[in-house]
Structure 1
Amino acid sequence: MFGKLLTLLAWTGLWQPRMVVLNGNTPAPRQHLNASEMAHTTSRFMAALVEHFVSSDGQKVSYAALEQSPFYTRSFQEFGGLLQNIDPRHLDDQERRAFFINLYNILTIHAILYSDPLPTSTISVPNFWERYSYKVGPFTMHLDDMEHGVLRGNRAHPTSGKVMFGRQDPRTVLSLTPDRRIHGALNCGAMSCPPLRSYGSDNIDSELSTAITEFCNKSVTTNTDGSLVINQIFQWFRVDFGATEPDALRWLAECVEDVSTQQALRQAALGTRGFSYDYDWTLNAVSGADGGKVKVEVYFSSLCPDSMRFFTDQLYPAWQQLQDIIDLELIPYGKARATPTGDSDYSFVCQHGPDECHGNKVMTCATASLPINTQVQLLHCMMAKRYPAYTGQQCSEEVGIEWAPLRECASSRQGAALLYQNGIKTASLKPRVYFIPTITIDGHYDSVQLRSSLLDLKSQVCAMYQGPPHQECL
C-alpha cells in the first residue's frame, strides 16, 4: 500500500525519489572507444542480450537467468564503464538514433533488475523513467531524457507536458528530428511494448520501418461487438502520429496490413465505429521470473546415453518433487536430419541410427497426445530401459495407457510431421544445439547453465523460481 502511495505521489510530482546512476561507480575501462565504435558496441551488446536472455518473439525477458549470469555481473559493468568515456555529440544522426534506442532498452532491463525484488510492472516503480540513468560521456541521462529529449526531438512528455531539455541544457544538441517509428522499437518492460531487438546504424531506417509495421499489426484487436481496442501508445503519443486523433487513426490504418482492420480504423476515424485504448503493464518476464511456473524445455533423443541418464538421474526426480512449479515441454529429436519426401511425409536420419528415429517418433506421438504427467511417466519408463527405442509397448502397459494409438501414430505421416516440427523447434534454438540433451530454463541456456542443469536440475529450477517459498526448494 505504501509503495502505491509513493507511486501516486511521484506521478503527481509531490515526491521525487533520488536518481540512481546505474554505471556511476563502474571502474574505468581498460579500453577507450570513440563515439562511433561505442554505437556499434552498444548494438552488439543488445544483440547478445536478446540472443541469450529474451524469448524468440522478443516479448519476454528471462530476468532471473540474466541476474545470475556473468553477462550481468561482468558484461554490464564493462559496458557501463565504456559509456562514461564517449561523447554522443560526435555521433551522426543515424548512429545516434540506433545508439539511443538500444541504450534505452538496455537501461530499462538494467533498471528492472536493480529494482529488487523484481517489480510486477515498471509502472509500479515510483518515477521509474526519471529514477534510473546512465552516465553517457559528459551527460547523465535517464530514460525520459533518451526517449523524449533525444529520440522525440525534445517534444513535451505526454503526461507531464514538460520538455526534458531546457534552452540552456547542453544536451539539446543531441535532439534528433522526431521519427514516429521509434514507438515500434522502444521497450518499457511491459507486455504491450514492442519486441526487443538490436538496432544498427547501418540499417536503422529499414529496421525501424519493419519494427513499426509489425507493431501496428499487433496493436489493434476487435471486440465481439465490432468495436476496436487499440494499443494506448497511439493515444499517449497521438501528436507523433497525426495533428488530431482522426489523423492518427488514419495513419494507423495505412500502417496495418489487414484490409478489414484498415477499413475499421477508417470508420473509427469518421466516428462510425467505436474504439477504446488499452495497455497491459504486466512485466515482460518469462514464467518463473514473475512468480509463475518455471518453463523447462528438454531437447533429447531416444537412444542418446546422456539423454537416458538425464531422464533417470535428473528430470524424473526433479519432476516428482517440483512438478507444481515446472511448466515442462519434452522435445524428442536430437541431432537428426529431416528431408521432405512429398505428400506431407518426411524421412529422417538420426545420430544413433534408424531405431532412434523410431523411438523419437513414438515419444513425439506421446508428447502430442498425453497429459504432461503421463508423458513423464511413460518417457521415464522408456529411457530407464536398456534400449528405449523399442520399449513403447512394454512401458505403455506399465504406465496403464493404450499402446495402439501411439504405434499407429509413430508409423504414420502424422508422426513424421510431428517429429519434423520438433526438428524445426530444435533448429531454432539460440545458441544452436551442440549437445544432447539440451535443457532450456525460461527460454535460456548457455554452456554454464546447461552443465548445471545436467548435474542438478532441481537446484536450477529452484534458483529460477520467484514465487512463494516451495518446500522442496528450502
Structure 2
Amino acid sequence: MIVVLLVALITITASAEAKSLNVTVYYESLCPDSKKFITTQLYPSYELISDYLNVEFIPFGNAKVANNSDGTLNFTCQHGPKECHGNEVQACAISVDVQNSMEFVNCAMASSDPSDDNLLEQCAELDGISWDSIEDCMTNGLAEKLFVQNGARTGEAKISYVPTIVFNGVFNDTLQDSGEHHFLSTACQLLDKQPKICASVN
C-alpha cells in the first residue's frame, strides 16, 4: 500500500510539473512598458490559467549597484530613486508572501504611483500581506540584500529591455515579443496540457 501511494504521489507531482509553465518577469516598478504588460497581459491571463503558471517576479530592470568607499551600497535606477524604492518594496512583498505576490504586484503596478507607500500599503492590505512585515524588510537590511540578489539575477539573464519575459528558463526573442503583447495565446501554445480557455485563443 505504501509503495502504491508513493507511486501515485510521484505521478501526481510529475503531472503537475508537466502541465505548468514557468514564467520569469524581469521588470522595474516605474517603467510604463512593465506596467502595461503586467496589468493588461500577465495578470488578466493569470486569472484565467493560474493553475498552469508558475510566475516569478524580478523587480530590478536597468538599475545598477555600486560599492561606496565606506562599504555601503549605492543603488541607481532608470527612473530615479523613487523607482529603486518601488523595486525594493515589491521585492519585500514578494519575500514576505510569495503566494499573494501576483495580486500585490498587479495592484502596485496598476496604481497611479508604484513607489507611493500609501498606495502600496493599500495594496498590501487588500491582498492580505502584512505591511508591518514589508516595513521591517525595508529597514532591517533585507531589502538591500534582495535588491542585490535581483540585480545578480538580472545580470545573469543579460537583459537589454524591460519587461523581459523568460519562459521555462530560456530566453527567446520571438516568445519575448509575442509574450509581451499576446501573453495568453503564447502561454497556451507552450503548455503541453492546455486548459479549455486556450481553445478560444489559439
Shorter-chain TM-score: which interval? 0.7 to 0.9
Counterpart Cα distance in 2 of 1:376 and 1:458: 16
1:69 corresponds in structure 2 to none
Q: Write out per-residue CA displacement over residues 416-468 of structure 1, whole angstroms, 9 at most, x where no aligned residue.
A: 01110000001101xx211101000111223221110111111111111112x
Q: Which has the larger radius of gyration?
A: 1
**Does residue 1:451 correspond to 2:177, yes or no?**
yes
**Structure-2 change in CA distance of 1:423 and 1:406 (3 Å):** same
Counterpart Cα distance in 2 of 1:320 and 1:333: 24
CA RMSD of aligned residues (A): 2.1
**Does residue 1:433 correspond to 2:159, yes or no?**
yes
Contact map agreement 2:96 2:133 (CA 8 A) in 1: no
Contact map agreement 2:43 2:106 (CA 8 A) in 1: yes
Counterpart Cα distance in 2 of 1:292 and 1:344: 46
Contact map agreement 1:336 1:351 (CA 8 A) in 2: yes
Normalised to the residue count of structure 1, the TM-score between the two structures is 0.37
Give 1:409 deviation, angstroms.
1.0
Q: Write out per-residue CA displacement over residues 257-278 of structure 1, whole angstroms, 9 at most, x where no aligned residue.
A: xxxxxxxxxxxxxxxxxxxxxx
**Does residue 1:306 correspond to 2:51, yes or no?**
no
Give 1:343 deviation, angstroms.
9.2
**Does residue 1:473 correspond to 2:201, yes or no?**
no
Contact map agreement 1:316 1:376 (CA 8 A) in 2: yes
Counterpart Cα distance in 2 of 1:420 and 1:349: 12
Amino acid at match of 2:82: D
1:383 corresponds in structure 2 to 109
**Structure-2 change in CA distance of 1:407 and 1:344 (3 Å):** farther
**Does residue 1:340 correspond to 2:67, yes or no?**
yes
Amino acid at match of 2:159: V
Counterpart Cα distance in 2 of 1:448 and 1:470: 23
**Structure-2 change in CA distance of 1:447 and 1:394 (3 Å):** same
Q: How many residue pairs get matched?
A: 183
Contact map agreement 2:65 2:74 (CA 8 A) in 1: yes
**Structure-2 change in CA distance of 1:349 and 1:465 (3 Å):** same
Which structure ranks higher in relative contact order (CA pairs < 8 Å, sequence separation ≥ 6)? 2
Give 1:291 deviation, angstroms.
2.5
Amino acid at match of 2:138: A
Secondary structure of 2:61's aligned partner = coil
Secondary structure of 2:19's aligned partner = coil
Contact map agreement 1:301 1:356 (CA 8 A) in 2: yes
Identity %: 33
**Structure 1 spans left out of the alignment, 5+ residues:** 1-286
**Does residue 1:404 correspond to 2:132, yes or no?**
yes
Give 1:318 deviation, angstroms.
1.1
Normalised to the residue count of structure 2, the TM-score between the two structures is 0.84
Counterpart Cα distance in 1 of 2:68 and 2:103: 33
**Structure-2 change in CA distance of 1:462 and 1:379 (3 Å):** same
Counterpart Cα distance in 2 of 1:344 and 1:442: 37
Residue among 292, 297, 302 paired with 2:24: 297
2:4 corresponds in structure 1 to none
Residue among 114, 133, 147 paired with 1:419: 147
Give 1:332 deviation, angstroms.
0.4
